[in-house]
Amino acid sequence: MTTAAVLPAFLTFDPVLLTLVCTACVLLYWYLKNTYSVFNELNVPGPTPKWVFGNIGEFKDKFPLEVFKEWRKTYGNIFGFFEGFKPSIVITDPEMAKQVLVKHFDKFHVRPIYNPFVYYPDDLSLLNTYGEINGVPFRKGWVVRIMLCTVYNDESFFPKPEVFDSDRFTTEEKEKRHPYTFLPYGQGPRMCPGYHIGVFQTKAALVKILRKYVIESSPQTVDPLPVALRPMLSPKDGVCVKLTKRT
Ligand code: HEM
């Protein structure tokens, strides 16, 4: 029996196989290098990605909204990160949200089914003039995330954000800030078609409860309220309050 015969097949020298493996490695290296350098080349700020995993490791044991808020503080209103191989551009600037949702809607109309706030600029050509909006580059295949929930506790948009202020949404107060600062139903041609039903149902439910009960905070009420992204911003463990029956 020869030595080659007792060695496992992958240890025997096969020039064709070796060439194929080397070529595959070079191509993979080239692909990853190009993928992960795209934001650097286009001057889009953002956290440095790890090869293959991108930036997903930074979400480990952390609440995603806090990660996005931290990145916003460090990199500014618009930044890029990698969901594995996928470049994602995060928009936390109301004016850019308006550009994407309304003005350039024709380039940002596709929505995946799993998350209403993810936008694929599917038909964005690399070469046409729409590749750039107000100096921010957009490329085909990038995920575009409008994440205005990162500004809800930003003092420059909402003074004293932790305080419950029933006047925060009066016409006068709303006129003081950019109209795209708070978009719970989205905006533009693909805005939630159930907007009026949603608002009506919420008000009807509140009226029904308030007619029968007085709502007060209780010892179990948590303040400030922990929130979660599901994918909309919502109370993490519900809202615990005390209901007293009206007499
Ligand atoms: C509190 C209630 C609701 C909230 C906060 C809400 C919010 C949203 C948001 C943020 C979007 C994504 C918009 C975009 O992709 O630009 C959306 C889409 C949608 N919503 Fe709602 N929604 C609510 C209630 C409803 C109701 C009651 C209905 C139906 C009766 C409804 C039907 C839809 C549909 C069909 C879409 C997809 C529209 C499209 O892709 O073009 N929603 N909603």
What whole-number percentage of the chain has pLDDT above 70?
A: 87
Q: Which residues partner with 119 through β-bridges?
A: 144
Judged against a pLDDT cut of 80, whether residue 129 lies above it is answered with no
Q: Which CATH class is domain 12-151?
A: alpha beta
Long-range CB pairs of 87-90, under 8 A, 24+ apart, other chains included: 87/35, 87/38, 87/39, 87/139, 87/141, 87/142, 87/143, 88/142, 88/143, 88/144, 88/145, 89/44, 89/136, 89/138, 89/142, 89/143, 89/144, 89/145, 90/145, 90/147
The whole-number pLDDT of residue 116 equals: 56
197 touches ligand 1 (CB under 6 Å): yes
pLDDT tens for 226-241 read 888 777 778 888 999 9
Q: How does DSSP assign 68-90, residue by residue? A: HHHHHHHH-SEEEEEETTEEEEE
**Which phi and psi angles does 239 have, rounded to 5°?**
-120, 115
Q: Supply the pLDDT for residue 126.
A: 47
1, pLDDT greater than 90: no
Give yes or no for residue 5 having a pLDDT over 60. no
Looking at residue 107, what is its pLDDT?
A: 83
Does 227 sit in the ligand 1 pocket, CB within 6 Å? Answer: no
pLDDT at residue 91 greater than cutoff 80: yes
**Helix (H) or strand (E) run with residue 24 in it:** helix 15-41
CA of 169 to the centre of ligand 1 (A): 21
Q: What's the gap in Å between 124 CA and the centre of ligand 1?
A: 25
CB 89 within 8 A of CB 145: yes
Q: Would you kindly state where each structural domain of the chain is located, as residue ranges? A: 12-151, 207-247
Nearest CA to ligand 1 atom 4: 185
Residue from 149, 190, 192 to probe ligand 1 pocket by mutation (most atoms less than 8 Å from CB): 192
Whether 184 is in the pocket of ligand 1, judged by its Cβ within 6 Å, is yes
The token duo for 121 is 């600029």
Lowest mean pLDDT among 36-40, 120-124, 161-165, 206-210: 120-124
Q: For residue 202, which atom of ligand 1 is closest to its CA?
A: 1
* Structural contact between residues 68 and 80, judged by C-beta atoms closer than 8 angstroms: no
Tell me if 109 CB under 6 Å of ligand 1.
no
